[in-house]
Amino acid sequence: MGNNFGDLIRSQYNNANVNITPAVAAPARLGMIHKLLSNHRFRDLLRVQVVEALFERIMGRAATDEEQAAALRFVADHGGNFRELTRHVLDSVGAGKVSARDALVVLVEAYYQGFLKRPADAKRLDAHVFALEHGRGDQGDLAVLAASSEFFERFSG
């Protein structure tokens, strides 16, 4: 994840006169992240980050420029749907028939590696997959991670 992503989060918090410390209440962080999701630049950086994380998780390597461009077009053509992108990338590497739940597991694992730089623990992995299976949208799930104290601490310095 490039510094541009963290810089954008910091600048948005600063513009809103929000003290960017991990002590800021989670609902305030979540509200700001939801506001950021309406920012075109933030959404674009977020999409790049998710594509990078998915390729690392599925392919074990970074996406080439061509793969990244194709993946970003795919996401844009599918309304920002990272679930569909996950299945598309899994299909492209010949993963065979992948259940919807298994694709969500891969997606959440990619979120954790991409945003928190660590694997998801089993409890949190199950909680995120459950929430996605029961109506939480992809951006809502990303907002929850980006509003977490752990993620927030990465960009508060």
At 83-116, the pLDDT tens digits run: 888 988 888 887 667 788 998 999 999 888 887 8
Q: Which range is least confidently modeled, 75-79, 103-107, 134-138?
A: 134-138
Rounded CA-CA distance 32/26 in Å is: 10
Q: What is the radius of gyration, based on Cα positions, of the chain?
A: 15
At 20-30, the pLDDT tens digits run: 555 666 677 77
Per-residue pLDDT at 2: 45
68, two tokens: 């990244």
Q: Which amino acid is located at 42 in the chain?
A: F
Whether the pLDDT of residue 9 is over 60: the answer is yes
77-85 long-range contacts (CB < 8 A, ≥24 apart) are 80/43, 80/47, 80/138, 80/139, 81/138, 82/50, 82/54, 82/107, 82/138, 83/107, 83/132, 83/138, 85/50, 85/51, 85/54
Q: How many domains does the chain have?
A: 1
Domain carrying residue 13: 3-155
Whether the pLDDT of residue 69 is over 50: the answer is yes
